[in-house]
Structure 1
Amino acid sequence: MSSFDWLRSQVQPVGPFSPSYNDVCRVRAILKRLRLPTELVLEILEHAQYWPTREFKSDPSHPIVATARNGRPSAATLCLDAGVFNNPIVNPIRASGERYKIKDIMFDIVSHDQGWTSEGTQGSFSTSSWLEVSILRNETNSSTRLPGPRLVNEWISSPQDFHRNMVGRGWFLAQRPAQALQGPQDGEGDFAWYLQGNRVVDRETYRVIWSENESEGNMGAGSGEGFLQEVKEGDRIIVWARAKVCAFDLILLCLQRA
């Protein structure tokens, strides 16, 4: 059977299609049989975004709340922990010996602010609640599990606070570049990238995409500058729900695709 006959014989998927590593290898071989230069083959696959993807989701039935109150000036609640290099999508690529990296990362978020304001900022992004992303790294650079939940609890005030708890336990948070957007994080250290601010009072659905050289997003979105360049083998990606000054952030769904 020729390569094109094989393509025509395949059952068309229902819904979004994500190629496996074997699919990518097969299509790459088909294009090479057309005697196309390797550089052009790779450019075609890149333009088509024909690469394996993996989804990580929080549980939408359990809303995640970050609350700054009772004398606490800020709060950080774990929204999502993703072992992006320790999953079935990456394993066959690793076994083949090919080099691999994250091409882009998409965040789909449903969240809202506290539902009221006395400062006349309703509908704006002059917010006290937002989401941000950290890179959790093990000193041995091995793919291991997130530390026990007692270290990720309601008493964490910021990623910097979490980082201090982890130092000495074999874990630490990677630092973002100084030029990356800070937003309400200013003054908390450089241990997280600003992802998305909540529109004051309102509930919204947001989509933010970070790639190596560009970003896409809504108003109030962070650009993720330097984020993908910093992610290394063995790292885990953490999404935080954040709040300051008696605000709270309710996350109904936080989906991440790498």
Structure 2
Amino acid sequence: MTIDPKVAVTVAAAFLAYRLYSAWTSRTMDAGRPPHEPTVADVLVAKAMLTKALTLPPEIVDTIVDLAEYWPHTTTELNDSTVVARGNTQMGTSPRAENLFLLRSPPLGLHNWKRVSRATDSPVDRTVLKPQPPGEEFSANDFQELIASPIPLLAHPCRRIVFTIRSHDQGFGNVIGDRGTYNGSWTWFEAGLERWCKSSPAQTSPAGQEPQQHQHPSLSLENLCTVFPEVEWDSQVQQDYIFNHPLNPRDDLKVQCNVTAERATVVHRVVWSYTDDINPERDVKAAAKLAEQGRGKATGDGKFVRDLRLGDIVTLWAKARFPLWANFVESVRMDVYYAV
């Protein structure tokens, strides 16, 4: 059996890049320093070096960089303590107090979005949006001019999301056997998604007939549409669009729940990767293990990460249900990694 020399070079280069990066990261961590986190410029330089040294086509270089997990990322943090509960007097007694928006990531892949957006919202990552359902969507090409990169980005560039959550519940519960486990927990965190669209049913023309059309992404928060949680029209009370927060956690969006009836703060680090492949219908045991860890059993298939589009924004919501249940949030952090 003969081996194609190009295939051999590609495999060797990919393996070499992966081993070198892994070894460097290990040495850095052993020395007590945080691992190297590449910038966009670092990744572009590494690609140029691989291309020139090995005379490889761009798609092979992309594969090498992906295998080495050499990706830039954005970080969004919230370090203010807050309580999510129906009875929280600071938030009112409305059931809406059971669903609290925490923070949003920068738009995926748009490195210089704040400069081009002329955003005046402060703070951008904490501003609560008016509910707007999505309409006609922009293509990846509509965002390319906003990217600080000499090469176009992928339409679906996200590779990994890391959620770091410090929290606990009220410290007591009705079912004694659930205490210290993730069973019967009614305080949790859920991922959301925002996206700029060409139009939204909530953005009507002055005559109130047709949605206004945007020719280019405005990058203004007021024009963001919310994909998750879903937005619906409330014809009974509000006569306006509202966020639809179901009673139960969504298995495909539930990031993490608190340890049941445990007052001590627990730190959870949850990783969603584009290579995750746990299908909850085919691999019931693996999905059940995710649930045992406090995650949504349908969050292990990688779909949320793979489906994220250029310009998308990841959000995080804190939840609590029923009287006396309270979600004590001490800090949250989102790290979003993407390919360039």
Q: What TM-score comes out, normalization by structure 1 length?
A: 0.70
> Which residue in the other structure is 1:242 paired with?
319
How much does 1:92 deviate? 7.8
Aligned residue pairs total 219
Name the counterpart of 1:107: 163
Q: Which consecutive unaligned segments of at least 5 residues does structure 1 have?
A: 1-12, 149-157, 176-181
Return the alpha-carbon distance in structure 2 between the equivalents of residues 254 and 22 of structure 1. Answer: 28
- The residue type paired with residue 35 of structure 1 is L
2:199 counterpart of 1:142: no
1:208 aligns to 2:270 (yes or no):
yes
Counterpart AA for 2:69? Q
CA RMSD of aligned residues (A): 3.8
Aligned-partner SS, 1:184: coil
Residue of structure 2 in register with 1:131 after alignment: 189
Equivalent-residue separation in structure 2 for 1:103 and 1:208 (angstroms): 14
Match of 2:104 in 1: 81
The aligned counterpart of 1:221 is 295
Match of 1:46 among 61, 66, 80: 66
Aligned-partner residue type, residue 152 of structure 2? E
In terms of fraction of residues, the more strand-rich structure is 1
Deviations along 1:59-88, whole A, 9 cap, x unmatched? x1x212210345739710011122233444
Task: String of CA shifts for 1:86-106, please: whole Å, max 9, x gaps.
Answer: 444998845424123111111
- The worse-fitting range, judged by mean Cα deviation, of 94-103 and 243-252 is 94-103
CA contact (8 A) 1:83 1:143 kept: no
Q: 1 CA distance for matches of 2:219 and 2:335?
A: 20
TM-score (norm 2): 0.54
Cα 1:115/1:210, change in 2 over 3 Å: same
Percent of aligned pairs with the same amino acid: 22
Higher helix share: 2
Is the aligned partner of 1:197 residue 2:261?
Answer: no
SS of 1:103's equivalent?
strand
Could you say which structure has the greater relative contact order, defined with CA pairs below 8 angstroms and 6 or more residues apart? 1
1:76–1:240 CA contact under 8 A, matched in 2: yes
> Per the alignment, in what secondary structure is the counterpart of residue 164 of structure 1?
strand
In 2, the alpha carbon distance for the partners of 1:109 and 1:199 equals 12
Q: Deviations over 1:151-174 (max 9, x none)?
A: xxxxxxx945xx2379xxxx998x
Write out per-residue CA displacement over residues 192-247 of structure 1, whole angstroms, 9 at most, x where no aligned residue. 71111111122311111111231797811232642123322333221000001121
Structure showing greater radius of gyration is: 2
Q: Take 2:148 and 2:220, find their aligned partners in 1: how far apart are those partners? A: 19
Note if contact 1:64-1:77 (Cα within 8 Å) is conserved in structure 2.
no
SS in 2 for 1:26: helix
The alpha-carbon distance between structure 1 residues 71 and 209, as it changes in their structure 2 partners (threshold 3 A), is same
**Aligned-pair distance for 1:23?**
1.5
Query: 2:321, 2:97 → 1: CA distance?
Result: 4
The 1-side partners of 2:162 and 2:277 are apart by 10
Alpha carbons of structure 1 residues 219 and 77: separation in structure 2 relative to 1, 3 Å: same
Q: Any unmatched runs of 5+ in structure 2?
A: 1-27, 88-92, 114-143, 199-215, 235-240, 279-289
Separation in structure 2 between the aligned mates of residue 110 and residue 165 of structure 1, nearest angstrom: 34
State the secondary structure of the residue aligned to 1:130. Answer: strand
Instruction: Choose from 213, 237, 248 the match for 1:184.
Output: 248
Aligned partners of 2:75 and 2:334 also within 8 Å: yes
Change (3 A) 1:104 1:132: same
Q: Check the 8 A contact 1:129/1:243 in 2, yes or no.
A: yes
Structure 1 pair 16–114 and aligned structure 2 pair: CA distance change class (3 A):
same
* Preserved contact between residue 159 and residue 306 of structure 2 (Cα < 8 Å): no
- Assess, with a 3 A threshold, how the Cα gap between structure 1 residues 184 and 55 changes in structure 2: closer, same or farther: same
Residues 125-173 of structure 1: CA deviation (Å, up to 9, x unaligned): 120000001102233283634459xxxxxxxxx945xx2379xxxx998
Q: C-alpha distance in 2, partners of 1:221/1:255?
A: 17
Q: Aligned with 2:165: secondary structure?
A: strand
Give the conservation status (yes or no) of the 8 Å contact 1:138–1:172: no
Q: Is the 8 A contact 1:127 1:197 kept in 2?
A: yes
